[in-house]
């Protein structure tokens, strides 16, 4: 018997706005609202959109050994992470496969906040907790925290109108804690869209209040997971379960340089990644640009001269480009270059495509 879907605290607001709801990682989530995915996508690229991301998981790890513990458990260094910064990181198994990709917030020398994917939350708890020192505390705060993402080139102006002046807003991949609207808030300059944006964390009881406050600001519209997916795909951002899973290493996914494997730091999976045989990538992640708006979907074969050489992991129309794009893994023996021709199997036809650099969309304002 299937487990019932979980609802975020904003489910009634989504239904009232005419959202189409659908399952995602065990949650009942808004895929789109009345204007549709294309309109929501374009609004985020040009103005400001608000996303309900309350399904994500949040952990707090603290104690005198917390930094050293996380430095050993996670693939990117934690010991050298500066205070009040966010860092993209990876949780690996002993074979260097990705158990989850996550963001690490450093609150203090001995206190960290981890934001993890909804579908991996329980497994992440089971993996991380027993690998911590006895003096390191671990709290799963997911059920007590609401998370909204405010994304788009006008997001800073929206926050300023809501009481957080631009000169007080955090810089890219930094965060601050403050009281706003009478609530304790954590606000980080992060996101999953490629646009200037902020992620807001606050007590779950205030989810409706904050949702309504932000949506009442001129120029802000709600956006669902459909637009979030096309926005991230245009940027070439990975989605766990598609571009990453327990069988794929960060090196195969294109993040090898981030790991700084040339340095002597040891972490779970590092022995495999440094091994010239076991750590050799078996496949590589590529971007593909199609010739029309017809998209190749997850699981489609990637073909060269009629021979399958890989598989598509994500594919959709890129609304900003008015063509379809895709990402997928190709066997490592094929040294593809931008412009090389491939075919993407769409069942009754093969869609012509060319290898393309990512991001596909290069006019994003994330670092502006």
**Residues 195-238: tens digit of each pLDDT:** 999 999 999 999 999 999 999 999 999 999 999 999 999 999 99
Looking only at the bridges linking them, the beta strands covering 197-203 and 145-151 are: antiparallel
Run means of pLDDT, 10 residues per run, the chain, 368 residues: 90 98 97 98 98 98 98 98 98 98 98 98 98 98 98 98 98 98 97 98 98 98 98 98 98 98 97 97 98 97 97 98 98 97 96 98 97
SS3 of residue 140 by DSSP? strand
Spatial neighbors of 273 by CB under 8 A, at least 6 apart, are: 96, 249, 250, 251, 259, 261, 279
**Residue-level pLDDT at 1:** 62
> Mind listing the domains of the chain with CATH numbers?
10-56+143-234 (3.30.1360.120), 57-140 (3.30.70.1400), 284-367 (2.40.30.110)
User: Model pTM?
Assistant: 0.97
**Residues 280-327: tens digit of each pLDDT:** 999 999 999 999 999 999 999 999 999 999 999 999 999 999 999 999
SS3 content of the chain, % helix, strand, coil (to 5): 25, 35, 40
* Helices and strands counted in the chain (H then E): 9, 20
Read off the tokens for 313. 């992991």
Spatial neighbors of 42 by CB under 8 A, at least 6 apart, are: 319, 320
Read off the tokens for 278. 């076991």
* Cis, bond preceding 127 (omega within 30 deg of 0): no
**Residue-level pLDDT at 3:** 83
Q: What is the mean pLDDT of the chain?
A: 98
**Residue-level pLDDT at 2:** 73
The answer to whether the Cα torsion of 201, 206, 211, 214 is positive or negative is negative
CB 124 within 8 A of CB 91: yes
CB 217 within 8 A of CB 161: yes
**Residue-level pLDDT at 310:** 98
Q: Can you list the positions of beta strands (E) in the chain? A: 6-7, 20-24, 27-32, 48-52, 57-62, 86-92, 98-108, 111-116, 137-140, 145-151, 175-180, 183-188, 197-203, 220-222, 283-290, 301-304, 307-318, 323-331, 341-345, 350-356
Looking only at the bridges linking them, the beta strands covering 220-222 and 197-203 are: unpaired
């Amino acid at each position: 018997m299937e487990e019932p879907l979980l609802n975020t605290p904003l489910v009634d607001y989504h239904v009232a706005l005419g959202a189409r709801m659908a399952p995602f990682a065990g949650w009942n989530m808004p895929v789109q609202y009345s204007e549709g995915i294309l309109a929501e996508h374009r609004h985020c690229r040009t103005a400001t959109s608000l996303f309900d991301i309350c399904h994500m998981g949040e952990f707090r790890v603290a104690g005198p050994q917390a930094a050293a513990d996380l430095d050993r458990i996670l693939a990117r260094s934690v010991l050298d992470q500066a205070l009040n910064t966010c860092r993209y990181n990876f949780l690996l198994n002993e074979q260097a496969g990705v158990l989850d990709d996550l963001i690490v917030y450093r609150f203090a020398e001995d206190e960290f906040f981890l934001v993890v994917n909804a579908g991996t939350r329980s497994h992440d708890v089971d993996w991380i907790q027993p690998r911590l020192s006895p003096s390191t505390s671990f709290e799963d705060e997911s059920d007590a925290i609401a998370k909204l993402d405010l994304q788009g080139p006008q997001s800073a102006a929206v926050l300023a109108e809501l009481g957080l002046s631009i000169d007080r807003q955090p810089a890219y991949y930094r965060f601050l804690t403050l009281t706003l609207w009478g609530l304790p808030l954590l606000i980080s300059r992060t996101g999953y869209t490629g646009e200037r944006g902020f992620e807001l964390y606050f007590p779950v009881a205030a989810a409706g209040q904050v949702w309504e406050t932000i949506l009442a600001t001129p120029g802000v519209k709600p956006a669902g997971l459909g637009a979030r997916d096309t926005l991230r795909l245009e940027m070439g951002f990975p989605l766990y379960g598609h571009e990453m899973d327990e069988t794929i290493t960060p090196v195969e996914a294109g993040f090898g340089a981030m790991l700084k494997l040339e340095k002597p730091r040891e972490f779970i999976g590092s022995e495999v990644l440094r091994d010239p045989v076991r750590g050799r990538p078996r496949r590589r992640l590529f971007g593909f640009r199609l010739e029309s708006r017809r998209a190749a979907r997850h699981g489609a074969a990637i073909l060269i001269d009629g021979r399958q050489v890989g598989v598509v992991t994500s594919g959709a129309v890129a609304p900003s480009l008015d063509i379809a794009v895709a990402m997928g893994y190709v066997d490592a023996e094929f040294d593809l270059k931008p412009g090389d021709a491939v075919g993407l199997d769409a069942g009754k036809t093969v869609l012509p495509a060319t290898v393309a650099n990512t991001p596909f969309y290069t006019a994003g304002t994330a670092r502006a």
